[in-house]
Chains A and B, each alone.
Chain A
């Protein structure tokens, strides 16, 4: 079996499992939906952290901005947002099915576009920073965003917003959001797979390995960095919009801008699986989510200790992550090998193959 065929098979199996999961384990639909969002988190974090060498601690900003953008559009289409939020859910509001889905679709688009634009604006400010300064700078931006939204009365301030309710039965609602989460994670994966095969992938790798060299070779580094972050923000915005609707109630600090939980998890998941690879974040997110849920169920009270231990082992003894370790151990499998011959026999050899 060729490498391409093996890859196709792997994609098929993962997709099939994804589609079958809510029917096989209906009690876990919400958990698996969150798993897809975690995979999206790890993939979008790795675009900067792994592939471009910019360790952002503030990517959660775009999750929150997407969540709020979507909510404002969903509500604002049919009601006055200020009235709706100031009533804290006390005012009786009904969304017909048609209103609900129109709002959701437009909200998702707004979430993605607004988050991508925010990345361009913030990128313009923070991409002057490098290394640890970039990490701290982005963390600051995300924390500030959470605090600003907390103080913004029009979107409900610290009290949050009750999201529009879906009129149909709860099971079909869970399935709708499950498949939207699955679709957004798969779309992110396929988009990044394509992106890394173009010269964009090489350019951001070059920036990671030596940005000064990349500049001295004439690469438009700032252009690549800004576009990379807005791609990341685009998909994160969608995930935030979906998560907010799935949970049903959003508020700034714990749900929309959770820097110390989701914001850090996305970094850990990418590191665990192997940063700078396509499958590493997927693997890392899956493993992390399973470990997290199992410890929450069976080691209650000690779950943060267990998670902390995992982080320490990962960062101290296993920095390259699972796939990075595999690549060191079996380099030939990943195509890293001495290949004698000369460039002039290459066409002949290709023809022979």
Chain B
């Protein structure tokens, strides 16, 4: 039970808005950890701080025991800490297979690897992952022409192609229709169990997060409000108040 990500007293403000105030939390290796909170409570800011998108004002962020709060986005990604975006970001003018092929891990990429051809095993792996998310038939289509839900699945497959140690998912089910959501929950669990990827998930859909996560953190007004198992969180009066706006 080691902590993959250890966040200690992280603060971040934008102008006059304190988005995160002394936030501490940890993500345990091999588990699925959830992060919930009302709109504007600072969830995405915390994600952005962890992956190095912006400098933090104070506190420390460790990944596998190593301080990463001063590193930049691509460096952190190469350590094996990857994130997906709330608005879904893919390479819109390339087809699905190309999107996958360029998502290989760049951990030990040398100058010579820049000019390498794509080995057949890699294409095969890309195609298998596309099949895993149900996009195999559309693999030759330009990814920007896919529906929003399909693009989300593609982004998830690209993240798996990168073989991260920890994957941060920002609202993976937002904008996906309810029948597809069950399939996605199942795939997230399989990514965790079969591929051994530690997951850290922001989610608004309570049914999804209570099904998925083994432990949950709740943010409100930039501060850590509560943490616990799904059962504890569901019964916590402070969490209920925060969501219903009783302040």
Contact = CB atoms under 8 A, between A and B. Distances in A.
A215 B103 CA distance: 11
A83 B33 CA distance: 75
A330 to B, nearest CB: 14
A34 B106 CA distance: 42
A276 interface: yes
Nearest to B77: A218
Given A336-B140, A341-B136, A209 B91 contact: yes
A231 to B, nearest CB: 11
A223 interface: yes
A205 B97 CA distance: 13
A188 B130 CA distance: 35
Contact of B106 (A197, A212, A219): A219
A224 B111 CA distance: 10
Interface string B100-126: 011101110101011111100000100
B89 A210 contact: yes
Contacts of B91: 205-206, 209-210, 213-214
Nearest to A350: B120
A208 B93 contact: yes
A221 B98 CA distance: 17
Interface residues of B, number: 45
A337 B131 contact: no
Given A202-B94, A206-B102, A220 B109 contact: yes
Contacts of A202: 94, 98, 101-102
Interface string A242-283: 000000000000000000000000000000000010000000
Contacts of A340: 137
Interface residues of A, number: 37
B82 interface: yes
Given A210-B92, A216-B83, A336-B141, A199 B113 contact: yes
Highest count of chain A CB atoms <10 Å: which of B106, B128, B130: B106
A337 B142 CA distance: 9
B162 A337 contact: no
A221 B201 CA distance: 27
B90 interface: yes
A219 B137 contact: no
B73 interface: yes
Contacts of B139: 339
Nearest to A208: B93
A335 B97 CA distance: 12
A114 interface: no
B33 to A, nearest CB: 20
A304 interface: no
Nearest to B105: A218
Given A203-B114, A205-B91, A336 B142 contact: yes
A217 B113 contact: no
Interface string A178-215: 00000000000000000101111011011011101111
A217 B101 contact: no
B203 interface: no
A281 to B, nearest CB: 17
Interface string B34-64: 0000000000000000010100000000000
B51 A216 contact: yes
B89 A199 contact: no
Contacts of A214: 91, 102
Contacts of A216: 51, 53, 73-74, 77, 82-83, 85, 89
10 contacts: A195-B115, A210-B91, A216-B85, A218-B74, A218-B77, A218-B107, A219-B106, A336-B142, A338-B137, A343-B128
Given A199-B115, A218-B162, 13 more contacts: A205-B94, A206-B91, A216-B82, A218-B78, A218-B107, A223-B111, A338-B141, A340-B137, A342-B131, A343-B128, A344-B128, A344-B131, A346-B127
Interface of A: 195, 197-200, 202-203, 205-206, 208-210, 212-221, 223-224, 227, 276, 335-344, 346
Query: What 8 A-B pairs are tightest by C-beta distance, nearest first?
Result: A218-B77, A209-B91, A343-B127, A202-B102, A213-B89, A218-B106, A218-B78, A343-B131
